[in-house]
Amino acid sequence: MFDKGFLKELKQREGECEDTTVKRHLEESGERKDEFKTDSDIDVKRLYTPLDLAEKGFDFFKDTSFPGEYPYVRGIDPLGYRGNFWIMMQYSGFASAEETNRRFKYVISQGATSISIALDLPTHKALDSDHPLAEGEVGKTGVPIDSLKDMEIIFDGVPLNAVKMFNCVAMSTGPIVLSLFLALAEKRGMEPGSFGLYMTNESLMEFPCRGTQFTTPAGHQKLSTDVVEYCTQHHPNFFPLQISGYHAREAGATAIQELAFPLANAITYIEEMQKRGYSIDDFAGNFYWFFSSSLELLEEVAKFRAFRKIWAKLVKERFGAKDPKSMMARIMIYTGGSNLTRQQPHINIVRTTMQALGAALAGVQWMNLSSFDEAYQTPTEEGALIALRTQQILAQETGITKTVDPLAGSYYVETLTKEIEERVMEYLAKIENMGGAVKAIDQGFYQSEIHEQAARYNRELENKDRIKVAVNEYQVEEDVKIAPLKYDPDAEKKIVARLKKLKQERDNQKVEQSLSNLRQVTESGKNVVPAVMDAIKAYATVGEIGQVFREVYGEYVEEAVHF
């Protein structure tokens, strides 16, 4: 890309600059810090020039090219945001179906174009609200959904096509949540093609990160793949698998691990679909990706750019993709909640703005911003509105959406992009040598790698090698006034009472028949979604359906992992 004579002269000039100007400055200032690194422990030089790109073997057409063209480093849309802004999401769901319904109506009225539904912990674990293990957790971290009845309340007066998409964070309960939406649409007489549904449905990452799994890795892999297969056959407008690196990053992973671990998981799902007779182009175009956008701004930009290239090359070269849609990585981000502080919480607005800026500069498709008060609770209306307005200001007032991939050609960003790509590929090779994602998770590899990085981060905070404003520096005496969510202390009792009433009034013979059929289908190895949907329409509960899976696949019991 660069003329050899030019590079030779540049190298000489760079050396002269280091020997004179830089050394003199350091001697005069008396200050020197020998090491600078990114959050992912990548060395950062004082200065980047075309020499760094030449050393990486940078080739414009192979490593960058044009937006909308393979390998999609510069984005999957040739117009970037000149055609349409990213979809602006808002995370909602708390307390009860009624409260969630009110919040949905509010954020839609304020211009949200997508809604991401938070489930409470018992629902994630496929436990009903009246289960002994659910006591005290009902409605605390999201909305409890016990049955189709709760969906009817949540969406009362909210059409399923009210926004561009609904995203449901249902990592381990994919077939159940898909069936809840389909059953609700059928009851309303709506065609599933008339609304957008994006399913998280990535259960493997739950084992090392969040812990909402309730059956075995093999069982969850089967259930997640069933959703992909069913949507491929019947609902090609749905996005059946959101492959997540976000939870790994929140648990302590570096940007490199945040990309490598979900990529290894994706390979597992692809191979399972291939065993069922599908080609990569049958389904990969409807995969999408969920990542964090953290505070190391330029590393985050490089991370997203590198990821698009890695995915495009992987599906084309390894799995033989021919359809460009299969090669395009569609990315959703949530700003890193772990970056937020309870101390001086309003400065979190600055943090989420910078995190969103990195994602916008990298050209992602969806954004969901943490609210400034999220270190305390599920967002208040004020917090949710500020998060939405932040996105709207970035999109419409800053000018960053006027050109595509504005940081392309930056010597630093391009060098970082290449470095991240190389390190991610090294991780993938290591996981492949272990036998793939499932075996790596079983052996505790993901867990140990994430825990090691989390410990490093905490040591740096304790030693002040890393400054976190308001936490280990710039503290002030403060009286934080965050208006708490008004959680009705009797809400759990009301939810449980409604569930018990449902169980009494429904046609329990029909429920038992549907659950018996689900058990037979599950034991046979067939796709479970049609049987789950029949059970949902009979008003079988999430917990009753989850119990069938526990009994057939085995209940997951976490073993101690020694690091």
Note whether 352 and 383 are same-domain residues.
Answer: yes
Residue 521: in which H helix or E strand, if any? Answer: helix 508-524
Note whether 79 and 96 are same-domain residues.
Answer: no
In whole angstroms, what is the distance from residue 236 CA to residue 364 CA?
22
- Condensed to tens digits (0 to 9), the pLDDT of residues 157-202 reads 988 888 777 777 778 999 999 999 999 999 999 888 888 888 888 9
Q: Which residues contact 482 (CB under 8 A, 6 or more apart)?
A: 345, 373, 376, 377, 380
In whole angstroms, what is the distance from residue 189 CA to residue 429 CA?
49
Note whether 490 and 547 are same-domain residues.
Answer: yes
Range 193-229 burial, b when 16+ CB lie within 10 A, else e: eebbbbbbbbbbbbbbbbebbbbbbebbbbbbbbbbb
| pTM score, whole prediction | 0.90
Residue 241: in which H helix or E strand, if any? Answer: strand 241-244
Is there a domain that residue 147 lies in?
A: yes
Three-state DSSP class for residue 45: coil
Q: Please tell me the total count of domains within the chain.
A: 2
pLDDT for the residue 335: 93
Q: Label residue 563 by pLDDT band (50, 70, 90).
A: very low
Note whether 191 and 326 are same-domain residues.
Answer: no
Q: What mean pLDDT comes out for the span 406-425?
A: 97
The better pLDDT of the pair 228, 2 is held by 228
pLDDT for the residue 3: 77
Strand partners, 242: 288
Is there a domain that residue 413 lies in?
A: yes
The better pLDDT of the pair 364, 109 is held by 364
Is there a domain that residue 153 lies in?
A: yes
Closest Cα to residue 368, out of 244, 281, 465? 244
Q: Label residue 551 by pLDDT band (50, 70, 90).
A: very high
The proportion of the chain whose per-residue pLDDT surpasses 70, expressed as a percent, equals: 94
Query: What are residue 295's phi and psi, to 5 degrees?
Result: -95, -10
In whole angstroms, what is the distance from residue 215 CA to residue 439 CA?
16
Is there a domain that residue 234 lies in?
A: no
**Is 245:292 a contact under the CB 8 Å cutoff?**
yes
Note whether 338 and 455 are same-domain residues.
Answer: yes
- Mean pLDDT over all residues of the chain? 91
pLDDT for the residue 382: 87
Note whether 252 and 293 are same-domain residues.
Answer: yes
The better pLDDT of the pair 313, 23 is held by 313
Residue 291: in which H helix or E strand, if any? Answer: strand 287-293
Six-digit token string for 265 = 């998981």
Is there a domain that residue 469 lies in?
A: no
Lowest mean pLDDT among 15-24, 207-216, 282-291: 15-24
Query: What are residue 247's phi and psi, to 5 degrees?
Result: -70, -30
Note whether 308 and 323 are same-domain residues.
Answer: yes
Note whether 110 and 68 are same-domain residues.
Answer: no
**Is 339:385 a contact under the CB 8 Å cutoff?**
no
The better pLDDT of the pair 33, 439 is held by 439
Residue 429 burial by Cβ neighbours in a 10 Å radius (0-12, 13-18, 19+): exposed
Six-digit token string for 112 = 């949200």
311-317: long-range contacts, CB 8 A cutoff, minimum separation 24: 311/72, 311/263, 312/70, 312/71, 312/72, 313/71, 314/263, 314/267, 315/270, 315/280, 315/284, 316/70
In whole angstroms, what is the distance from residue 346 CA to residue 117 CA?
24
Q: What mean pLDDT comes out for the span 423-439?
A: 95
Note whether 447 and 489 are same-domain residues.
Answer: no
Tokens 């040591």 belong to 459
> How far is residue 274 CA from its own chain's centroid?
24
pLDDT for the residue 11: 82
| The dihedral formed by the CA atoms of 247, 251, 252 and 253, expressed in degrees to the nearest 10 | -30
Lowest mean pLDDT among 159-173, 262-276, 487-501: 159-173
pLDDT for the residue 200: 85
The better pLDDT of the pair 368, 94 is held by 368
In whole angstroms, what is the distance from residue 24 CA to residue 478 CA?
44
Residue 560 has pLDDT above 60, yes or no: no
In whole angstroms, what is the distance from residue 518 CA to residue 126 CA?
15
Q: What mean pLDDT comes out for the span 517-534?
A: 98
DSSP one-letter string for 148-165? HHHHHHHTTT--TTSSSE
Q: Which residues contact 437 (CB under 8 A, 6 or more apart)?
A: 204, 261, 264, 265, 267, 268, 431
User: Domain residues for 509?
Assistant: 85-203+482-563
Note whether 497 and 419 are same-domain residues.
Answer: no
**Amino acid identity, residue 84?**
N
Largest pairwise CA distance in the chain: 87
Residue 486 has pLDDT above 90, yes or no: no
The proportion of the chain whose per-residue pLDDT surpasses 90, expressed as a percent, equals: 69
pLDDT for the residue 188: 92
Of 430, 462, 494, the last residue of a domain is 462
Residue 217: in which H helix or E strand, if any? Answer: helix 217-234
Range 478-499 burial, b when 16+ CB lie within 10 A, else e: eeeebeeeebeeebbeebbebb
Helix axes 381-397, 97-109, angle to 10 degrees: 30
Q: Label residue 235 by pLDDT band (50, 70, 90).
A: very high
In whole angstroms, what is the distance from residue 76 CA to residue 62 CA?
15
Six-digit token string for 401 = 């959406």
Q: What mean pLDDT comes out for the span 23-52?
A: 82
Three-state DSSP class for residue 471: coil
Q: Label residue 12 by pLDDT band (50, 70, 90).
A: confident
**Amino acid identity, residue 430?**
K
Is there a domain that residue 472 lies in?
A: no
Residue 225: in which H helix or E strand, if any? Answer: helix 217-234
Is there a domain that residue 148 lies in?
A: yes
Q: Label residue 497 by pLDDT band (50, 70, 90).
A: very high
**Is 470:344 a contact under the CB 8 Å cutoff?**
yes
Note whether 186 and 250 are same-domain residues.
Answer: no
What length is written for the chain? 563
pLDDT for the residue 378: 74
Is there a domain that residue 239 lies in?
A: no
Residue 562 has pLDDT above 60, yes or no: no
The better pLDDT of the pair 89, 83 is held by 83
Instruction: Report the CATH number at residue 352.
Output: 3.20.20.240
Note whether 77 and 98 are same-domain residues.
Answer: no
